[in-house]
């Protein structure tokens, strides 16, 4: 598939097997934990179709004016891929191998500003690649240290990103996910920080596995307490009946 524009031509080609992908180190221990948390809660809530793809620092490719461009967002969600996950093991080419990503995220950990780069010449900046080449509907930029979240959505009329305003709960509606995205502060994997979390249409937080375990533990404990209270009430009633000269068993 070829898309021609005034300044460039986009083709969707599979990454050659001999193409050497960059092996940039992850900036810090928070980024993998945040990416894993986003995927985990979706999976536990049954929000991940079998043929979808979630990725972390994983190459998303396009060929622009005959040159391969690969960007690896900190987290991305593709609603549907063609074939199996094994076929997109090393990288993913939209249009050829499945849908355009519905959402890409970058977690800022430095000040180089590459997340905002609209540089159109090779190699293009991240902003330009997501907005103009891939046309990703939702671009998220998150700075966890200060808890600053920016949600940009592609305006259909201008084909440019437009920053969104949160609702009264400081959450953003992501139509393609049918979920809200917002910030939650707490601890995961012994990291106390601000985390991106999902909420459903009713405002229910999509829980992590440890939270579900704790929720179940509390439910069991509450049931034990109810059982004990019922036992104590029965014993008091039996004592009252005996005091009145009535044998409870009769």
pLDDT in tens, 36-78: 999 999 999 999 999 999 999 999 999 999 999 999 999 999 9
Q: Quick one: average pLDDT of 196-223?
A: 92
Q: Is the pLDDT assigned to residue 186 strictly greater than 80?
A: yes
Q: Do the beta carbons of residue 62 and residue 29 sit within 8 Å?
A: no
Q: From the CB of residue 165, how many other CB atoms can be counted at a distance below 10 Å?
A: 6
249 or 183, higher pLDDT: 183
The span from the first CA to the last CA of the chain, in angstroms, equals 85
The predicted pLDDT at position 2 comes to: 47
Question: Which CATH code is given to the segment(s) 2-207?
Answer: 3.90.1570
Residue 80 has pLDDT above 70, yes or no: yes
In which residue ranges of the chain is CATH 3.90.1570 found? 2-207
Q: Is the pLDDT of residue 137 over 70?
A: yes
Cβ-proximal residues to 45 (8 Å cutoff; 6+ apart), any chain: 198, 200, 206, 207
Can you give the pLDDT at residue 111?
A: 61
Q: List Cα–Cα distances, 97 to 1, 2, 91, in angstroms.
A: 11, 14, 10
For the stretch 95-124, pLDDT in tens is 999 999 999 999 987 666 789 999 999 999
């Amino acid at each position: 598939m070829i898309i021609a524009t005034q300044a460039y031509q986009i083709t969707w080609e599979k990454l050659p097997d001999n193409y050497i992908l960059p092996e940039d180190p992850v900036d810090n221990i928070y980024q993998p934990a945040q990416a894993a948390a986003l995927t985990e809660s979706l999976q536990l809530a049954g929000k991940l179709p079998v043929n979808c793809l979630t990725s972390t620092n994983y190459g998303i490719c396009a060929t622009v004016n005959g040159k391969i461009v690969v960007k690896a967002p900190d987290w991305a969600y593709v609603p549907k891929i063609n074939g199996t996950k094994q076929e997109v093991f090393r990288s993913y080419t939209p249009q050829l191998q499945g849908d355009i990503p519905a959402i890409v995220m970058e977690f800022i950990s430095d000040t180089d500003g590459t997340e905002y780069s609209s540089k159109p010449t090779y190699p293009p900046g991240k902003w330009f690649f997501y907005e103009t080449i891939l046309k990703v509907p939702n671009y998220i930029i998150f700075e966890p240290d200060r808890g600053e979240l920016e949600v940009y959505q592609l305006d259909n009329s201008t084909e440019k990103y437009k920053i969104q305003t949160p609702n009264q709960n400081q959450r953003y509606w992501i139509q393609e996910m049918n979920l809200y995205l917002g910030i939650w502060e707490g601890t995961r994997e012994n990291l106390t920080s601000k985390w991106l979390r999902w909420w459903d249409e009713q405002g229910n937080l999509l829980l992590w596995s440890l939270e579900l375990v704790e929720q179940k533990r509390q439910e069991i404990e509450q049931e034990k307490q109810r059982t004990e209270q019922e036992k104590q009430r029965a014993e008091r009633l039996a004592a009252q009946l005996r005091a009145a000269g009535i044998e409870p068993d009769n």
